[in-house]
Chain A
Amino acid sequence: MGRSLLDKVWDLHTVRELDSGQSQLFIGLHLIHEVTSPQAFAMLREAKLGVPFPKRTYATVDHIIPTDSQVRPLADGQAEIMMSEIEKNCRENGIEFFGPESGDQGVVHIIGPELGLTQPGMTIACGDSHTSTHGAFGAVAFGIGTSQVRDVLASQCLAMHRPKVRRIEVDGELGAGVYAKDVVLHIIGKLGVDGGVGFGYEYAGSVFERMSMEERMTVCNMSIEGGARCGYVNPDDTTVEYLRGRRFVPEGADFDKAARWWRGIASDEDAAYEDVVGIAAHEIAPTVTWGINPGQVVGVDGQIPGVGSFDGDDRLVAEDAYRYMGWNEGDRISGTKIDVAFIGSCTNGRISDLREAARVAKLGRVRPHVKALVVPGSQAVARQAESEGLHEVFREAGFEWRLAGCSMCLAMNPDKLQGRQVCASSSNRNFKGRQGSPSGRTLLMSPAMVAAAAIEGAVIDVREVFGKGESS
């Protein structure tokens, strides 16, 4: 019987088995940011522990960073304190910090891959649930809490239980206007927001095989929204070619050696899985969330499911969502007026996301009542977009072109919804209050759909927009 990638990586990184039944797991790459690390460094100081592997941790600033001006000191005094704190902690412990002056700053899950820090077969941890993003490379990547950030800093290890593996196979052809974001929203809608608890997800099948690395990152990013501990795609030619030439990737003969090892870490063909789920690609429409968790989804051409279509506890959550969002039975998602459009985040803030959104932005102008933001995921994404003139496309269409950061995905910086505003958002969570206003409402969708909603002033099927505007 063969082994899955998760099992191979787990076995290679196990230092020893602990009395608790957990594995002491070596962490190949540790990423830190300003929100969940300062308390961990304080715990280290209190316990008089050092950082024995400082070269295996990299830091950036993303959550609190303003996207209009990053001139120091930052306007928000608390944000400035957090910024200074991570600079100091990195300096004192010999950790490389990608701050705004480095030219490499950005959302932690965007810069890891683009610098080539993220590689197949690694164990990766970060004090952020969307660390699952790095699984796109065939890494086993976990979001962790602050006490565990301290554990990794102090020992380069985590005490963890091995998750079971569920293989999710999506086969067939995706329709035009259907993106990676729609695929993962569809999966979460099918399996539920807690369907993945205790599991790692292996994404397989022809749809994932054809996806670019950036699309795979979008899918793996949202594994956590389905409750899974991590999610990954087996490394293949696409993975190897993406990594070639990146800063932290070996060169020449070493690269060839690396590529052989990366390919060898993929799941064996006869690997056993705890569970296998099959999904047909043609069933997936441009997908939008209508509720207060990422499992409450509907195809853009569909009617919001009635409360009566849910049983038991799911009905209570649906009722709560109807109240919070202000729906009436029989409402359709298409045509829902929006106030804000947000393109960005670790889910959809990469160059391919901006290119798709710009294709739509070229076809019209943002409605006057809509505030529309484009926030590149990193300084490198911003430079690339500007070299392609995408920033001009967005500006001409009435979008604001911002600096790199997490921004309105979780609204820890000044970018926040006001009151009950409705936001079409390319981010990952539609929880109550997530985007900075306790009563703000979020509709998750692909970046192209967000751009279409900004122009229409309301949710619209992006396929209609392309049909009207692009002759090809």
Chain B
Amino acid sequence: MSSSEGRHVTLVSGRPIPFRGNEIDTDQIIPARYMTAVTFDGMGQYAFQDLRFDGEGNALDHPMNDPRFQAKGPRIALVNKNFGCGSSREHAPQALWRWGVQAIVGESFADIFFNNCVAMGIPCVQASEADIHALMTAVEEDPSHDLAVNLETMTATYNGTEYGVRTHDGARHRLRTGTWDAAGILVDALDDVRSTAAKLPYVQDFRD
């Protein structure tokens, strides 16, 4: 499968940024009006636009505007429950990625958002409600350390404290083996795809 292999995602480390709140939907992550474009370029600057700025462009109270969370380099997002619900727009993880988010640690994720992240090589790992609370509090008190997400040991480590995390086994496998981008793997089996299709009566328009 060498042609299908990409970056092996085992350890992702970066400055954490907490996005508190349950059910943060993808319309909030990237408002639809910024999607009138034929590429994902430039999506990063609009991440959380309507939570960061009011109608007159004044900065609102949001972690991405907070001077404590302006470190350069890779970022790890901390989130609560059902993050990324709603619209299937890949523009949402693309916006976060282009802003610098390389992994997300949260209580839970919406299905399509989770799959979109894996397909981009972004790990989404879950921790308990208590651990997410502890992590967010620790980061808000002192954001000056890197948060390390380790898919081998299934841990998230911040300032010397280690938290257990979990994710879907299949997603973990794809990330660790660099096979998170499915296209190459799927294309490898085109002959099998044709024989599966040939057995489906509707593909043959129900003719014998």
Contact = CB atoms under 8 A, between A and B. Distances in A.
Contacts of B63: none
A75 B168 CA distance: 45
A313 B80 contact: yes
Given A78-B36, A82-B36, A143-B112, A194 B206 contact: no
Interface in A211-270: 224-225, 227, 229, 250, 254-255, 257-258, 261
A161 B207 CA distance: 31
Interface stretch (A15-23, A326-334, A354-362, A374-382): A15-23
A181 to B, nearest CB: 18
Contacts of A94: none
B193 to A, nearest CB: 5
A28 B119 contact: no
Contacts of B112: 129, 143-145, 224, 229
A317 B23 contact: yes
Contact of A28 (B25, B183, B202, B205): B202
Interface stretch (A103-111, A281-289, A384-392, A430-438): A430-438
B130 interface: no
A416 B120 CA distance: 32
A81 B23 CA distance: 33
Contacts of B177: 19
B81 A411 contact: no
B55 A439 contact: yes
B111 interface: yes
B142 interface: no
B85 A159 contact: no
A302 B17 CA distance: 40
A312 B94 CA distance: 31
Given A38-B39, A147-B116, A147-B120, A52 B205 contact: no
A64 interface: yes
Interface residues of B, number: 67
Q: In which size bucket is the chain A interface?
A: 35 or more
A455 to B, nearest CB: 29
Contacts of A161: 168, 170
Interface string B164-208: 000011110110010101111111011011001101111101110
Contacts of A76: 36
Contacts of A47: 183-184
Interface of A: 12-16, 18-22, 24, 26, 28, 35-36, 38-39, 42-43, 47, 49, 52-53, 56, 63-64, 76, 78-79, 81-82, 85, 119, 121-122, 127-129, 143-148, 150-151, 154-159, 161, 193-194, 197-198, 224-225, 227, 229, 250, 254-255, 257-258, 261, 293, 313-314, 316-317, 320, 410-412, 416, 419, 429, 431-434, 436, 438-439
Which 8 residue pairs are nearest across A and B when measured between Cβ atoms? A145-B116, A145-B90, A155-B186, A38-B38, A147-B119, A438-B50, A129-B88, A20-B170
Interface of B: 21-23, 25, 27-28, 31-33, 35-40, 50, 54-55, 80-82, 85-91, 93-94, 108, 110-112, 115-116, 119-120, 168-171, 173-174, 177, 179, 181-187, 189-190, 192-193, 196-197, 199-203, 205-207
